[in-house]
Structure 1
């Protein structure tokens, strides 16, 4: 596959989990890939990616990282906003400081990256942005109020940015994953009173009976970002094993 040949893709939060799967997919499809992550060092790069330490919660860090990518490759065509943090609990569970911290990373962080990259996207003939939202943006799940608020905002923001920049040739879409089998989920499960039972419950919650694979999310991201999807903008793809849309009869 070489649909991204000659294009430069930036993947935030690309050091592990979903982000790492996305970076691999774009690299294998011919793109030059820059991975921006808070916990990455240029010395860690394996040669496949341009590794740039970046904190999406800090505008100066984002500006410097995007400038470094543009200097290295001379262009930026694709932004994949994957960096984010989780939050648990009902509406009483998190104080104002935690609300501001998670909002700053999950919502404003994406806006910072797009804002910094916009001059380069405007110069690209294949400009595309894909934001990672979540199935919780469309489906109310228990004990996820703060996280849901941020991911709902990401979905709404995606559509608004798509409307603002469609005439500049910049496409903006979102992917809404369900529960994905990532190191983050692994850490949550390890802290559960009964990790085996909790994993089984998460698997059963998704109608296809298992956790989503990171590579499946990466496939949806690649479809939306591809120049072959040139008429697709302001929309979203849900990758959740049927959680949001299907209502199955009990056996």
Structure 2
């Protein structure tokens, strides 16, 4: 399992089914479609091979050591890797749990946001459509699509996933939001008109091989946790120094994300990789 601190600037490349809390918010910032459409002009494979990106800031811990006291003392300032789930208090589906199983547990008609990897723009599909796409042989796919925002609270899938105990303890939604509003939630989707509380606690991410999510800050500068059920992910993490945050803001507003790999300009970029255990 990974914990990525707040508010790191993060991007990842993946082939996986994984679970996490929090999500990315997308803003067009007034940039026209013409400015952000099109293929990347930098080589992701070269970035993956590069030895410039280190993992010096990454901590490795055992689950039993991630306690409320530990978080109180130092916060979550550096990326953390847990090689084994022991002591974290998590519960996950069996490793052979498939995209078809996700469809069964959340419903085949559930509409989900799907990202076109080449443009980083979103479209909608039903879970049935996504399952058909995911199971299509790679040679027959005309585009790379990625699911990073399927929030599955209030579905049958919710009971198969338990977050780390420490996350339950510090979750603002559980600790601060009026309990009667959360208990009033019935809709399993994230429709704003039907939402009674910030429904951002359990996400299922599904990526085919080669999927890429560009640099972003999770909403509110929140920390996130990931558990990789199948496949693997590579994260690039930028520490949130004033200079790096200014670079990030300029990069977002430029509309030239496809031309510029932000990690080439930022200071102290870390590379973090992991796979299902």
**Would you call these one fold, judging by a TM-score over 0.5?**
no
| Greater per-residue helix proportion | 1
| Greater per-residue strand proportion | 2
Name the TM tier (shorter chain): under 0.3
Q: TM-score, normalised by structure 1?
A: 0.24
Q: Which has the higher contact order (CA 8 A, sep 6+)?
A: 2
